[in-house]
Structures are given as structure tokens and as C-alpha cells.
Amino acid sequence: MSRRLTVSPSVAGSAPGTPRSRPPVGVLALQGDFREHAAVLTSLGADVVFVRRPEEVAQISGLVIPGGESSVIDKLARSFGVADAVVARIRGGMPVYGTCAGLILLADRVQGGIRGQQSFGGLDVSVRRNAFGAQTESFEAELDVPVLGEPPMHAVFIRAPVVTELGPKATALASLGDGTVVAVQQGGVLGTSFHPEMTGDTRFHQYFLDTVTARSSGG
């Protein structure tokens, strides 16, 4: 199913009143592990904004959608009036990175969603929720990610989704040994089934920040 296509909302990466020299990056802070993403982004020098309201969506140059429960994030995003603002910014070309539940929310087509579940869209893919089963079926794997170079990325999968159909507009960035796609990109929109914010490997976040910087500078 798809939509067509406790931290106060504040800047986390710089002190109040500090002029920004980098494009501000938002983390959708409605539910899930948004604090972990903010910590990684801040460690890489980003100015981070916790996003809970439409006006905060307007302030940012890129957005990270964290892991959590995709149906809950969807409901809260619509309740807080954030969903329409995010959809509009994605359609306008804002870079977005979604991990796990975030990948589900960026998929144009969602399989196994609850009744009425919607997504922001932006990735021409079909994604299946909880593709590996319950949380007890969580696992780790080494992934070759050519756009990130060597070494392979140690990836953590927790109630992870997978990409079941890759549309012509999207590109696979990484797959499991059986060919299952677990990382995908379409222009400035990036999604991973796994949680790089949990492993200390910051390359996906840096890759995303480089995209934000390039888009902000007209690259």
C-alpha cells in the first residue's frame, strides 16, 4: 500500500544561535531509533534537526527515516501533519535515507502492511515487511557494497524487510548471497534493510551526507 506519489524538536548538531555552515539534515523523530542516527550524523559533522512537525521538514536539506515500526511511524506522521510535507519534499528532490522501517516507508509498494498502511514513496520498489520472520530470527551478514568500496559492510538485520521487486528507476546497491536485494537507491533516495547506525560503520551515512551536500550546492 502506498501514498501517492523524547527529544524536543531542535537542532542536535550545533548550539542554539550557532550559524550553520553545512546544510541541515533532519531525522524523523516520531518513533524508533532516531537518536542513534542523530549521533552518527553528528559525529560526521552534520547539523541535525529532529523532525516532528511540518515546519521542521521545511528547514532541512535531507532527511533520515529510522528503523522502528513502519505502521506506527506512518500513523504518527499523518497525525502530526508531517507525512504530506515529507512526500512533497521527496517529490521536490530532497535526499532521503531510510533504514529498515524507513525503507518500507520509502517504497512505492508495500507487501504485508497492516490495513490502511501508507508509505511516503520515492523508491520504485516493492518491499515485504518482516521478510525474515520475528525478532528472534534477526541475523548479521557481511555485504559487498560497491559504491562504498572495501571492506565489506557488517550488516545487522532486525525484523528486516527486503526488496522483492526492483522497478526500472531504482538501482540495487547490495544483496545477500542468494540475490535478495537489501539496499537500493533512486536518485537522492536511499534505503537499506539493515541498521548501519548500530555497527559503527558510518559509510552509508557519509554517502548520504555527500548526496545532501551535492544537491544543496547544485551538484
Catalytic residues: 100, 195, 197
The grid coordinates of residue 113 equal: 502492511
Which burial class, exposed, middle or buried, applies to 151 when counting CB atoms under 10 A from its CB (0-12, 13-18, 19+)? exposed
Q: At what angle do helices 83-91 and 70-79 cross, to 10 degrees?
A: 100
Give residue 170's identity as a one-letter amino acid code. Answer: A
Spatial CB neighbours of 115, under 8 Å, sequence gap ≥ 6: none
**Distances, alpha carbon 111 to alpha carbons 11, 117, 120, 168, in Å:** 35, 10, 14, 19
Q: What CA–CA distance (Å, rounded) separates 7 from 87?
A: 23
31, 21, 57, 46: which is closest to 207 by C-alpha? 46
- Which pairing describes strands 162-166 and 123-128: parallel, antiparallel, or unpaired? antiparallel
Q: Which residue shows C-alpha cell 544483496?
A: 175
